[in-house]
């Protein structure tokens, strides 16, 4: 699984992103999205909507948007508003387009991520255990 954490400053046009890699599930990409302001513990919104497109070879392969219809997000004290899980293939480059619209102001953040490769456990075993058979 790959993880990318993206935060948008609530006032200025600034995004921060941190990419983390976990190596046990190679078919998931988790995108965590939140807002921040260095002087506020609670962030308030007005007609907030946001979403994320997962793009491979220039085509949107998965898309998620929030909140669901008839739901409004007014404020949060959480570091991340939403965690979005996407099904991905190992060893693949994906583009991520994260967007948000608050008070009619649309902002977008684009980045790329390469999902981790599945290790060759058989080759690793044989390299460290000469003459033994790999039959896991």
What percentage of the chain carries pLDDT values higher than 90?
A: 57
CB 100 within 8 A of CB 36: no
Interval 104-130: pLDDT, tens: 899 999 999 888 887 777 777 777 888
List CB contacts of 81: < 8 A, sequence separation 6 or more.
Answer: 33, 34, 35, 50, 66, 73
Highest mean pLDDT among 27-31, 47-51, 117-121, 125-129: 47-51
Averaged pLDDT for residues 16-42 = 84
Q: pLDDT tier at 50 (50, 70, 90 boundaries)?
A: very high
Closest CA to 29 of 90, 111, 117: 90
Interval 82-101: pLDDT, tens: 999 999 998 899 999 999 99
Residue 24 pLDDT = 59
Pairing of strands 49-56, 75-76: unpaired
**pLDDT of 135 above 80:** no
CB 52 within 8 A of CB 27: no
User: Sign of the CA dihedral 11, 80, 30, 60?
Assistant: negative
For the chain, domains (ranges, CATH) are 2-128 (2.60.40)
Chain-wide mean pLDDT for the chain?
Answer: 88
Residue 57 pLDDT = 96
Residue 112 pLDDT = 92
Pairing of strands 93-102, 49-56: antiparallel
**pLDDT of 1 above 60:** no
pTM attached to this predicted model? 0.81
């Amino acid at each position: 699984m790959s993880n990318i954490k993206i935060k948008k400053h609530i006032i200025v046009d600034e995004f921060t992103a941190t990419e983390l890699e976990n190596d046990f599930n190679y078919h998931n990409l988790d995108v965590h999205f939140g807002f921040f302001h260095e002087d506020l513990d609670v962030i308030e919104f007005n007609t907030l909507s946001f979403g994320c497109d997962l793009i491979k070879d220039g085509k949107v392969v998965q898309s998620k948007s929030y909140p669901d219809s008839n739901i409004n997000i007014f404020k949060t004290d959480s570091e991340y508003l939403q965690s979005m899980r996407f099904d991905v293939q190992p060893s693949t480059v994906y583009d991520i387009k994260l967007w948000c619209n608050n008070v009619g102001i649309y902002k977008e953040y684009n980045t790329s991520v390469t999902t981790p490769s599945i290790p060759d456990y058989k080759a690793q075993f044989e390299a460290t255990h000469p003459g033994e058979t790999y039959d896991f």
